[in-house]
Amino acid sequence: MFKMRMAELLFFQFVCLWLAGPAGMPQEAGVALGTLRVKSDVAEVLVILDDREVGHTPLTLRSVATGRHEVLLVKEGYEDHAEQVEVPAAKTVSTFVVMKPEKVELPELPVGFKAIHQHRFGYCAGTLTVTAEALDFEDEKGEDRFHLPIRSLGSVSRSWGPVAGLAPFGINTSTDLMAMRVEAPGRSYGFLAYKDSLGAPMSVASEETKRLFRVVYALWTAGVGK
């Protein structure tokens, strides 16, 4: 009996892996599939397929559902590249992207952003002020505040992933959200910027979060304050 159960368990695991596909893409029974290849002139560009991170270029995605898909390529220091790709059944479609270096014009500093600060458990909303030397955050209640010198940051990046626990802030979203993350000594900080109100609809490529990231990344890479 034990051997039968072990065999059934192994078979179940095999079926789950097969259904996930070689690229980890979920599949549905009876759905026609194709292959998508994404290459770029710059190595290690993040590829986001239909709001989901799927890897870095050069990338081959097998078992992709046929039809039209949204492809977004992202890399620090370059403009985001978005396009629609039609994947045919049982065939391979390829796209090659030339990434354009990003030219960032810094706003007059200091500049403030309405932002959500991600805690280990939960979130708070407040103002993130960016100066040439540091990031300063204070929440609306004055209970959470910190000062992060730009020269102390180990990295500045964007990330995509599920954002849970935002219901108390009234954020209306049915998809993943983009966040800016900075690594400071001993701790990482996540921020999600918003423009008018917390209740406004937000998309994966939040323009305000992207603007915040571009300003901070430009200051960080320029070595301002060092």
| Domain ranges (residues) in the chain | 28-97, 111-222
Query: How confident is the model over 105-127, as a mean pLDDT?
Result: 88
Rounded to a whole number, what is the distance in angstroms from the first to the last CA of the chain?
68
pLDDT tens by residue, 150-187:
999 999 988 765 554 454 444 444 334 568 889 999 89
Confidence of residue 197 (pLDDT cuts 50, 70, 90): low
Q: For 28-97, give the CATH class.
A: mainly beta
Strand order in the sheet with 67-74: 52-56, 46-49, 67-74, 81-87
Q: Report how far residue 3's alpha carbon sits from residue 5's, in angstroms, rounded to the nearest whole number.
A: 5
CATH topology match: 28-97 vs 111-222: no
Position 51 scores a pLDDT of 80
pLDDT of residue 158: 82
Which CATH fold would you assign to the domain 111-222?
PH-domain like (2.30.29)
Whole-angstrom distance, CA of residue 23 vs CA of residue 183: 29
